[in-house]
Structure 1
Amino acid sequence: MEHVVNAQLRSIVGKKRAVRRLRAQGVIPAIAYGPGLEKPVSLALEKNSFLKLFKEVTESTPLTLVVKDENGKEVLKHMAFIKMVQYDKVTDEVRHVDFYIPEAHHKMKINVPLHIVGKAIGVEKGGILEVIHHEVVVEALPDRIPETIEIDVTSLDLGDSLRVKDVKLPEGVKIDMEPEDVLITIVVPRGLEVEETVTTTETSEPEVLKKGKKEEEEK
């Protein structure tokens, strides 16, 4: 599904009062920058349209940014990613948006969320699934960036961990982290550990006594 962001060139830049007036009119100030552009471009976004789209995308979702001038003429159309969103400290409303414009044939790094599927064997046994990293830094060409990385935890037993090196990735995609970094682990609750230890001790003790008795009989 293609996600299109419609924007207009913004001539009002750096004037706080004028920018506040834009926000009051239902406009979100924005900027687009990156190696795919010669220079940064100041933009204006229609608030309601952008917020509707914003609910459906993440930082790693490729967007089609379409920019028009004040006469409605298209001046820019390019792949883009949401780089940063600034919020109002009091109202939590979106105040400003940064778009990153990549260069088509150059790799980029971006945070991609993990999507966990399945129920771990260890959880079925009473363990706790602990997510160490909810997202990972991915390096790939812009058109290869996955929106999410699916992690199937079904086979993880008590005490097991899933590391960066265990993740299956699409072709041309690399996680920019250490291979041994733990992403997910199945924690064994303390009470469960004690119960297993006691059971093991009680099972092994009669075997030792039985063996000793047999040796005495042979003597």
Structure 2
Amino acid sequence: MKVIEILGYKRANLGKAESKKLRTAAHVPGVLYGGTEQVHFHMPMVFLRDLVYTPYAHFVDLNMEGAIYRCILQEMQFHPVSEMMLHVDFLQIFDHKKIKMQIPTAFVGKAIGVTKGGVLSKKQRKLTIAAYPKDMPSMVHIDVSDLDLGQIVRVFQIPIENYIILASPNTPVASIEIPRALRSAASKEEKKGKQ
């Protein structure tokens, strides 16, 4: 799993007025949970860009005045109209504790159904994974090579290594959709065969 280092600054003053001042200065107030105590901090919004606006999952080394905390992004709040970042929560992680993360899916191989004119439909772009930090994958790779027209790959069919997928085993992850044109051509052939 790729690690991004982000600089944060501990907050001495808490409260709405102080948070508003920080946001005006293009900083995001935040809290680090999971350790022996909560740590209140702030950071420039620009530092979060590589973490938030990416399809990939990352660990974060949060560097606060020389103290480095290994953590994950837990939650982020945005303004409903302006989309400005309002608040960020990080969860400190430890080697001996399992964590849960949303991990992106990557579909590999060329499906048989696609070569016949079908369309690969990606039903789950991310899956929630539980694992120890050392076992957390950066991507869940799903082989779709054997999928034919109308077939579906489900969670229970994904080979896993040292982690658990927190979804119903029957949850569809990808399928090969049959386009309308292909379906109508098949029904015409079927009708011809019956005549």
Kindly indicate whether residue 130 of structure 2 is the aligned counterpart of residue 139 of structure 1.
Answer: yes
Instruction: Work out the CA distance in 1 between the residues paired with 2:93 and 2:149.
Output: 42
1:151 is paired with a residue whose SS is strand
Cα pair 2:51 2:58 within 8 Å, conserved: no
2:174 alignment partner AA: I
1:66 alignment partner AA: N
Report how many aligned residue pairs link the two structures. 194
Question: Unaligned stretches of 5+ in structure 2?
Answer: none
Instruction: Work out the CA distance in 2 between the residues paired with 1:105 and 1:26.
Output: 36
Instruction: Work out the CA distance in 2 between the residues paired with 1:133 and 1:2.
Output: 24
Q: What corresponds to 1:65 in structure 2? A: 62
Cα pair 2:10 2:39 within 8 Å, conserved: yes
2:81 is paired with a residue whose SS is coil
Q: What corresponds to 1:103 in structure 2? A: 94
1:51-70 alpha-carbon deviations (Å, 9 max, x no partner)? 24544574x311112222xx
**Matched-pair identity in %:** 26
Runs of 4+ in 1 over 4 A off after TM superposition: none
Cα pair 2:30 2:89 within 8 Å, conserved: yes
Q: What corresponds to 2:17 in structure 1? A: 17
TM-score, normalising length: structure 1? 0.78
Tell me: CA distance 1:122–1:152, structure 2 relative to 1, closer, same or farther (3 Å).
same
Within the candidate set 130, 134, 155, 1:164 is matched to: 155
Kindly indicate whether residue 166 of structure 2 is the aligned counterpart of residue 176 of structure 1.
Answer: yes
2:106 is paired with a residue whose SS is strand
Within the candidate set 172, 176, 181, 1:186 is matched to: 176
Tell me: CA distance 1:140–1:97, structure 2 relative to 1, closer, same or farther (3 Å).
same
Tell me: CA distance 1:201–1:131, structure 2 relative to 1, closer, same or farther (3 Å).
same
Q: Which has the higher helix share?
A: 1
2:159 is paired with a residue whose SS is coil
1:142-167 alpha-carbon deviations (Å, 9 max, x no partner)? 22211221223233210111111221
**Larger Cα-atom Rg:** 1
Cα pair 1:61 1:146 within 8 Å, conserved: no
Q: What corresponds to 1:216 in structure 2? A: none
What is the root-mean-square deviation of aligned Cα atoms in Å?
A: 2.2
Q: CA deviation at 1:81?
A: 0.5
Q: CA deviation at 1:191?
A: 4.1
1:63 alignment partner AA: V
Tell me: CA distance 1:186–1:31, structure 2 relative to 1, closer, same or farther (3 Å).
same
Cα pair 1:122 1:157 within 8 Å, conserved: yes
Instruction: Work out the CA distance in 1 between the residues paired with 2:33 and 2:128.
Output: 20
